[in-house]
Structure 1
Amino acid sequence: MLNRVVVTGIGAFTPIGHDISTFWRQVVNGQSAVDRITRFDASLFRTQFASEITYFDPATYLTRNDIKRTDRFTQFALIAADQAIQDSGFDLDKMDPFDVGVIWGSGQGGTETLEEQTKEYVLGDGHPRFSPFLVPKVLVNLASGLISIRHGLMGINYTAVSACASSNSALMDAFTYIRLGKAKIIVSGGSDAPITPSSFGGYCAMKAMSTRNADPGTAARPFDVDRDGFVMGEGAGALVLEEYEHAVRRGATIYGELTGAAMTADAYHITATHPDGIGATRAMQLALNEARINIEDLDYLNAHATSTPVGDLSEMHAVAKLTGSKKTSLHISATKSITGHLMGAAGAIEALICLLAMRDNVIPPTINTEVRDPAIPETLTIVLKEARTATVQSAMSNTFGFGGHNGIVVFQKV
């Protein structure tokens, strides 16, 4: 008998809100944080804007020692995980610490630290004065490691890396371990801090990002006929996943049940999704099968839709293969139009949106889309401009990553 897995704690540290309540209010209201970059001079870059976390003083959340030994992506992870653990209210003193683990996700890890340290060496006098914290700050797995150290969580611990599908990979793994009885609680989610000159410049060189420099607030426009690329973001999302009976016994608040998760590979291209969405269709169907529901029973889909010409279209064709030729009650939105694309944290952030949509029975909007691409099947209902009230008993979150990774999770009300 497989265990049931529920979500009992949530946390978010994002460009549109440094806590869950602010974050969710901004999502529902369609308030974006996309603006010109302030973290470095981007005036000569092809793209000059992003979705940044501004007014961030790590000393507000972390000790001096914590700050000294952590990269920005780990700081985001610690803050979001703190929120989720506090929200969950589990008492480690009443548990075996080996029953509580951390499975995190990140696409890039400590890019900022590596960039800064390399620059100091190259532009210095040739002496290798590297920080003793360089390696711990750069390593992708240090986010999960430091969350466990901070809270004394001694169970399974690692970080999943599958580019922009990383945090859905982490959620899927956490789901599996709890179902198999290998853990009672797992803190999961993802974080990334990719807005650095080298990382940002690399995406500019790929021509993957929007170049609407004159009007960055409307640059992220999924499904629009004039979409021209994604908007980079940064931040973290955290979820406490827990075995259902354990959560019930301690009287925990349950946001929803994770009932299905699946991954496939496109095996097609280093960066592009398969134009026919073959891998995405298969992953969605596998996740629905595991959740024991049909696409007709699904109320909300938070699409990966990053506002790229090929990606949005291939995803919608993949969804249409499942829904068929008739209109369904499925509502679709692309909240990256609001948050920006938080890279390895995207799946966690959008999982939170799915859970909050179920809690409040509201479909968040897709903003900035002025003219829907006529190539998108007309049978699909996409929520544009304003949030919509609707009964949400089940929700799916799609994530796709460079390398052809397709990661899908399905949540249902308990």
Structure 2
Amino acid sequence: MSKRAGPLPRIFSRSDWPETSRAAELLRRETVGGMLLLAAAILAMLWANSPWRDAYAALHDVHFGPSALGLHLSTAHWASDGLLAVFFFVVGLELAHEFRHGDLRDPAKAAVPVVAAISGVVVPAALYAVTQLLDGGHLRGWAIPTATDIAFALAVLAVIGTHLPSAMRSFLLTLAVVDDLIAIAIIAVFYSHGLHLGLLALAIVPIAGFAVIARSRWHPWWILLPLALVGWALVLNSGIHATIAGVVLGLVVPGTADDTLEGSGSMSERIDHRLRPLSAGVCVPIFAFLSAGVTVVGGGLGAALSDPVTVGVVVGLVLGKAIGVFGGTFATARLTRAQLDDDLSWADVFGLSLLAGVGFTVSLLIGELAFGSGSAIDDHVRLGILLGSVIAAVLAGIVLRRRNRVYRRIAVLESADEDGDGVPDCYQPARKAT
């Protein structure tokens, strides 16, 4: 007698209520940061194409900082090496949380976003390479269209007014976290140069001290902050990009609750709560403002659009991300015989895959590392990133708005709380009949 087959696995099913509520709060904060990021990019474009554009260009070349410590950097480098280190520190905190408490702790649940993220890196890189080989372009920028900007993507969601189901929002967040992890590895392996092993070994000392003190019961901020700064400075001068130091420092912050400390939750949660507004509201918008200004007046637009690098970036972000993320998700579902959760369709996944093509912060950083800040090719890269992101956002908006009414109905059903305990009924197990 044959055994009855068990229920087929489902993808995009709900997480537990604590993780869902945390993701919702996190996404709200990222959406605000995305709005500021969008405003900074628009302001930069307006200034870079105004009669005062020479002042915008000159702003990038202002140098300051102690030369003796190897920190006499331009404004542009302070933004990419300093401010983005704070952004990547927050990314490190988020990575650690996902591995400890989020979807990445469960291999079965993590398979879909991990495969989707990997496919969403490989396919854009491949399409970029094809466009360069066909038209004699530069292969060095292959990694530019591989990154998804979660803050920018969520800002787009806020603009189009969609009500994505919570599982899809969590998937987008997890996908972006894995995407950031891959981008970090790419920067460390392919875009670091002039490695100084002595300084890199020396950087281990303050970073290890940061980790030990952070995990002890006695860790005042005035001890942790200097250790973090020294570790960051040593990594910066070692030839490894300074943002890697931010990620490592974020990963070593403890994520277990400690009731002996002021406040509630783990140290990682408290630091994230304090630093994320600084990262999303100040650091990333300033970097965007200094990086997004591309001068297109005076014939610059025609030259950029005819450059295979620009074409490759646009193709990678718009087609590559959509094909990679959707294809990876679809293939995983078919290989595991998984089914979409109720009230969702593959059109939803396709719309989200298009939205993954909204790249900005990390793409701009990789473009600068690949071609050099302020170079003609870097200007073309920035324009390609802006064009690709806008096209991906518009296409995603068209697809997702068609599901708006369905999303709104699902949101109303999920908010039902008949017993008044503050937890929606859909996140509680069904009560057995007595």
Category of TM-score, reference length = shorter chain: under 0.3
TM-score by length of 2: 0.27
Q: Which structure has the highest helix share of the two? A: 2
TM-score by length of 1: 0.28
Higher RCO structure (Cα 8 Å, ≥6 apart): 2
Q: Which structure has the highest strand share of the two? A: 1
